[in-house]
Structure 1
């Protein structure tokens, strides 16, 4: 059974920020490995980049940009909570952050397809 505070929209924003940060942290070693291929094995990088045309990879890129945008806006939300007085409209700001993340990642997806 979920505790009552876990039904609060800002708790969901808290969890989304933590999970997006974890997913981005797991992605970084893969990203650095691919970047290192540009220096050490350019032919492997060319093969790897040819896979980027796959629609599933485009969808995964959308997810990555979404996570990055969610984490960015979640960080801004935390800065607001830390340095500005609490206001009733912060639930709306949290929802606007998720909407902004969808807008940014959706724009990326539309341009990538």
Structure 2
């Protein structure tokens, strides 16, 4: 049984913001590790960078940029919720945030291919 508040579109915006934050938090340690290889072991870094040419990695990069954009625009939505008077346009603003995140990540993906 779906709880009534979980069928509201803004609950999905809330859930997507939490999932994107979790995904970014899981990615950051790996990212920092690879950055540290630039200082400690450049040969290993080169092998990881060669892996970045794999098409599956390109799709994963799209997902990462999408999570980043969703988290950014979701954060702007939360700031607007806290600082601005709220109106009935909440659903449109949340959908616009997801559309903007998809546009940003899609643009990145098309340039990376």
**Does TM, normalized by the shorter one, top 0.5?**
yes
Name the CA distance, whole Å, in 2 between partners of 1:105 and 1:23: 15
Q: Which residue of 2 aligns with 1:15?
A: 15
Name the CA distance, whole Å, in 1 between partners of 2:51 and 2:26: 20
| 4+ residue segments displaced more than 2 Å | none
Deviation at 1:2, TM superposition (A): 1.2
Question: Counterparts in 2 of 1:24-103, with a 5 A limit?
Answer: 24-103=24-103
Task: Give the TM-score of the pair, scaled to structure 1.
Answer: 0.99
Name the CA distance, whole Å, in 2 between partners of 1:35 and 1:10: 36
Aligned length: 113
Cα displacement string for residues 3-54 of structure 1 (whole angstroms, at most 9, x for unaligned residues): 0110000000000000100010010000000000000000000000000000
Secondary structure at 2:52 match in 1: helix
Structure 2: runs of 5 or more not aligned: none
Task: Give the TM-score of the pair, scaled to structure 2.
Answer: 0.99
Structure 1: runs of 5 or more not aligned: none
Q: Which residue of 2 aligns with 1:3?
A: 3
